[in-house]
Amino acid sequence: MSAGLTLGPYTLPNRWFVAPMAGVTDRPFRRLCKRLGAGYAVSEMITARPELRDSLKTARRANHAGEPGPIAVQIAGTDPEMMADAARYNIDRGAQIIDINMGCPAKKVCNKWAGSALMHDEALAAAIIEAVVAACEPHGVPVTLKMRTGWCAQAKNAPRLARLAEQAGVRMLTIHGRTREQGYSGQAEHATTALIKTLVRIPVVANGDIDSPEAADAVLRATGADAVMIGRAAQGRPWLFAEIDHKLRTGRPMPAPTPAQLRAWLTEHLLDHYNLYGEHTGVRSARKHLLWYLRALGGAPAAQQRLREAVVQATRPEQQLQALHAFLDTLQDPPAALPLAA
């Protein structure tokens, strides 16, 4: 069950993938998830607009220094030629796999008819897929596609787009089990993914509401999917990939991480984070990760409140690290798995 799959010239070590999430799956987070059991990770969405390529935000998103391969970069845009140029641009900078974003439901993306909004215009979606595949083929770079089940409940056209994408040369499909209209509300449905799996021969990845080894196993069995992709459930709990891998390989739950392990993992993540963003921005952007860790780790309410206040008030990296270490010293029980809704 945990054996990897082949994607172009690459054999992935397992079938537990990290979803691309804007503002979350930066290089430090991807590196940590891979170290803790994720077999594959895709970068944050990078815009295809050439005038934004030199921005600091894009430069950080495109930073893969020290990250184990294969390096997968997700691109988003609405113009086929611009998307093809973006693919070539990122390949020149180390991308080994190009992922097309047709899954993001954010208004600032969809209002420009990018992301999941492209599912509303199948002709444009097809033109973009064909242009990106044509740009990547001479370099031997596989193209993947992430999309939703459809634009809305009345227009679940993912099966049709899946066959179109396969015919155009896409090498792997990831299906988030919600429509663009749903955003992240309600429950993911994986019946559409199961249908797509019967229609195409390329690998299909199931995404949506997978927050435990049991959920991963259930979705794989229900859909026949080749892998699962995990997004929000990994926020604050990157060791979830190791838990899934251990349970599905051995049939037994993985022992909970010790405070010493947690201290090493979280410190490594934060130091890498500060290194990428610099002290001023890094302290601020680390807050969300620390608060997610706090949610996952539990602990005494008073100790939680002290860490929460210290994380928000800190102006230097060492202040956040000291507060985190002090909190970990108070932990008596191992972290308990939380449902995604938490």
Catalytic positions: 104
Residues 166, 58, 236, 29: is their CA dihedral positive or negative?
Answer: positive
- What does DSSP say about strands 204-207 and 40-47: parallel, antiparallel, or unpaired? unpaired
Q: With the CA atoms of 49, 20, 292 and 242 taken in that order, what torsion angle do they form, in degrees rounded to the nearest 10?
A: -160
205 three-state secondary structure: strand
Which residue matches tokens 């798995």? Answer: 337
Of 201, 202, 230, residue with least CA distance to 215:
230
Say if residues 251 and 310 touch (Cβ distance below 8 Å).
no
d(CA 80, CA 77): 8
Of 182, 111, 213, 97, residue with least CA distance to 145:
97
Q: Which residues contact 99 (CB under 8 A, 6 or more apart)?
A: 20, 42, 72, 73, 74, 75, 143, 144, 145, 146
Helices (H), the chain: 27-35, 56-61, 80-92, 107-110, 122-136, 158-168, 191-199, 213-223, 240-250, 259-297, 301-313, 317-328
